Amino acid sequence: MNIHQLDINKLQELETPLYYYDMQLLANTLDSAKKAADKRGFHIHYALKANFNDRVLQLIQSKGFGADCVSGNEVQKSIDSGFPASKITFAGVGKSDKEIILALKQEIFAFNVESIQELLVINELAEQEGVKAHVSLRINPNVDAHTHHYITTGLDENKFGVPNSELEKAAAVLRACDHVQLLGLHFHVGSQITDMNVFKSLCVKVNEWKNWFEERGTTIHVLNVGGGLGVDYHHPDEHPIPDFEAYFEVFDKFLERNAHQEVHFELGRALVAQSGTLVSKVLYTKNGVKKNFLILDAGMTELMRPALYQAFHKIEKLGDSGENEQINYDVVGPICESSDCFGKEVLLPTAERGDYIAIRTAGAYGEVMASRYNLREEIRYLYSDQIG
């Protein structure tokens, strides 16, 4: 059920703020991604950092996706949610010994290793556990994702991946590690990428480094190109599902691989973002000297992205007939921070206390970044398939 089809009377029975999940849209998005990937023999690992809501994970797992994790707790959550260990990857620049041992015991598909020191630590811990760890070496490709600098990960200045200057040494360390087996190479250039040329540039870099290793006698079984595909925050109803065909076609066309090599992706935002909406109620309207304010019962504690990234989310008034005068509002929350603002000068129909506001495309990096700052209450949920 689309958010616009939601009965306002149903909302009046519930406490807000809440996250509303359109489970049918989520299913359709997953099916679209899987169809486009399967026809090319590609493998998708869902990035749990985007959203680890239980119902969301249950549906994703049921479609046969793998899991991409960046913490030990995410590895455990994936296992508990039914994702097979053979489809779980574990990335992150700061894996603790405890997290590594957990993943070793679960015999996950691969660690995405981000430094030579981490490689040595995994080898040591694998020896202690009496197992052999499968790893993919994360290489920083120095490709500009042309996105917000906080979510760019593939430049030389970023903390992620093994720098090119250390690859000779990394290859030597790999040969010397008896309890680590190199499975493949891993790359990720950033998030919310809508320019397909960025992915073409990534393919060029992947080809270069794959050939570099193979020329030195190292077999590469897996090319993990990360994720990063963006969504349309400005027009969620016009583009509810990303163009997975165009995305995967870039890699199918420009990524060089041998018959024995698998291509893996780690998609998060593109799979879940449009299915989630933060629903909030107007607590107060306030006419300032220079501004008109809508003060909501949701704040940066429920959706951090606008305060953290100055990110845009489309804001709508629910249940509006279209007859009311439209006014520019600064849409703000109740948190004691001036950064607690969802949007400035947002043109909306005249709103009153008790009206409902939808903040769209909040299914990724929304609920998972929620906090209890100001001792806020736990987040609430409503799922489309719960409504008759």
Residues 6 or more apart in contact with residue 35 via CB below 8 angstroms: 244
305 exposure class (CB count in 10 Å sphere: 0-12, 13-18, 19+): buried
Determine the average pLDDT of the residues in 222-247: 98
Measured CA to CA, the distance from residue 250 to residue 331 in angstroms comes to 39
Q: Taking Cα atoms as reference points, which of 303, 288, 362 lies closest to residue 334?
A: 303
User: In this predicted structure, which of 73-82, 167-176, 300-309, 354-363 has the lowest mean pLDDT?
Assistant: 167-176
Beta-bridge partners for 277: 20
Write down the domain spans for the chain.
3-18+274-386, 23-272
Distance of alpha carbon 62 from alpha carbon 332, whole angstroms: 38
State the angle between helix axes of 97-106 and 116-129 in degrees (0 to 180), rounded to the nearest 10: 50
User: Residue 330: pLDDT above 90?
Assistant: yes
- Residue 382 to residue 319: CA distance in whole angstroms: 17
Q: What is the CATH number of domain 23-272?
A: 3.20.20.10
Give this prediction's pTM: 0.94
How large is the average pLDDT for residues 179-206?
94
Distance CA 337, CA 47 (A): 30
% the chain with pLDDT above 90? 84
Mean pLDDT of the chain: 93
- In this prediction, residue 320 has a pLDDT band, given cuts at 50, 70 and 90, of confident
pLDDT tier at 149 (50, 70, 90 boundaries)? very low
Torsion of CA 343, 347, 350, 352, to 10 degrees: -10
Q: Tell which residue, 114, 128, 112, has the closest CA to residue 47.
A: 112
Output the CA–CA distances (angstroms, integers) from residue 178 to 135, 174, 194, 371, in the order listed: 13, 8, 41, 43
Top CATH class, 3-18+274-386: mainly beta
Question: Residue 43 has what pLDDT?
Answer: 98
| 152 — pLDDT class (breaks 50, 70, 90) | very low
